[in-house]
Amino acid sequence: GVNLKGRNFLTLMDFTQEEIRYMLDLGHDLKRKKRAGITGDTLKGKNIVLLFEKTSTRTRSSFEVAVRDEGGHAVFLGSDSSQVGKKESIEDSAKVLGRIYDGIEFRGYEQSTVETLAKYAGVPVWNGLTDIDHPTQILADMMTIEEHVAKPLSKVKVIFCGDIRNNMSYAWMYGCAKMGMHFVAYGPEELAKEIDQNVLDRVNEVAEETGAVIEVRSDDGCLEGADVLYTDIWASMGEEAEIPERVRLLTPYKVTEEMLEKTKNPDVIFMHCLPSFHDFSTKMAKEQLELGYDIREVTDEVFRSRHSVVFDEAENRMHSIKAVIVATLGR
């Protein structure tokens, strides 16, 4: 059987298909239990720390609630309120935090930071998003697909539309490669060119074993037969300066009703990791509109349509993150 005790969770590329299957099954199981009012004590006596260089709603909340549900305790350390990385190296911080805590979650910029933490902490380290990966999001998304699409993952076609060179696009390539899925990064050629060739080589190597298909496409012919249409904001955290250029490149790739129709699948589901600019109700969307930039990556109509499963995804962040912590640290 699968045993993930003591393992880090840095990227899905570090896990076998069987191990990912195990975490998904555990997530579904923990969700059923939570809904039935049953929580556990597998993390009793365990303390974990949440290191955040970037902001978060879902990931932070999911880690805090997940640990609490299993009888453990979480401490939040924002980058403004700790020494990490500014007055103290990542290596030293890892050694210190590993003495005090039983597990470390990190969200921030560099993937190398989460790798360095894992190298020196001596306790499990979990990746809560970096510039090039977001593995816990993919587990939540796969759980959500399994709830809404009546096919095994290996028969599912996912279109990731928009900023195809961002952390979510890469995270999806890794996840789809491992689970033998059909993945299409659908976006403009200018951004396709920026996709890291090394990532494509690595996922294609995995795909050869699992039967996955990983494509990068700019033409809407790829939409036909999609089970999932997924998008993300056009300029990720830390990339706000790119907004004018991204609006220029990605407006033709905004997710609309017409795009859903091109899948020719009446049951296609719309997914988004969130947060989303689907209207102008946020400060940022309003400010950008005043500057002349419409940053909506999806129409409000699609976001609120019967196809949209975005809030199931958000909930599943908690259940899947709980699965990762319990699998790697729980009793």
Residues 322, 65: Cα–Cα separation, whole Å: 8
Name the binder of 57 from ligand NVA, ligand CP, none, CB < 5-8 A by kind: ligand CP
Q: Cβ neighbours of residue 150 under 8 Å, at least 6 residues apart?
A: none
Catalytic residue among 161, 165, 273, 278: 273
273 binds ligand CP (CB under 6 A): yes
Amino acid at residue number 77: L
Binder among 8, 127, 236, 276 for ligand NVA (CB under 6 A): 236
| Residue 137 annotated to the active site | yes
Taking the complex as a whole, the smallest distance from the CB of residue 242 to ligand NVA amounts, in Å, to 12
Give per-residue burial for 270-301: e unless 16+ CB within 10 Å, then b.
Answer: bbbbbbbbbebeeeebeebeeeebebbbbbee
Q: Is 328 annotated as a binding residue?
A: no
Interacting span for ligand NVA (CB under 6 A) from 7-15, 61-69, 139-147, 161-169: 161-169
Longest Cα pair distance anywhere in the chain, in angstroms?
56
- Set 296, 307, 317, 319: catalytic member: 317
How many CB atoms are closer than 10 A to CB 139? 25
The residue range among 18-26, 150-158, 166-174, 210-218 that interacts with ligand NVA, by the rule CB under 6 A, is 166-174
Minimum CB separation from ligand CP for residue 273, in Å?
A: 4
If we measure between CA atoms, which residue out of 280, 281, 224, 233 comes closest to residue 255?
Answer: 233
Q: Which of 200, 237, 243, 284 touches ligand NVA (CB under 6 A)?
A: 237
Catalytic residue among 102, 222, 232, 296: 232
Would you say 124 and 194 are in contact if contact means Cβ atoms under 8 Å apart? no
246 among annotated binding-site residues: no
CB of 238 to ligand NVA, least distance (A): 8
Binding flag, residue 58, ligand CP (CB under 6 A): yes
54 DSSP 8-state letter: S
Q: How far apart are CA 72 and CA 82, in angstroms?
A: 22
Per DSSP, the residues of 244-263 read HHHHHHHGGG-B-HHHHHHT
55 labelled as ligand-binding? no
Options 56-64, 68-76, 171-179, 276-284: segment touching ligand CP (CB under 6 A): 56-64
Between 283 and 306, name the residue whose CB sits nearer to ligand NVA.
Answer: 283
Q: Flag whether 274 is marked binding.
A: yes
Nearest partner of 62 among 273, 276, 235, judged by Cα: 273
Residues that bind ligand NVA (CB under 6 A): 129, 166-168, 232-233, 236-237, 273
Specify binding-site residues for L-ornithine: 167, 232, 236-237
Q: Catalytic site residues?
A: 107, 134, 137, 232, 273, 317
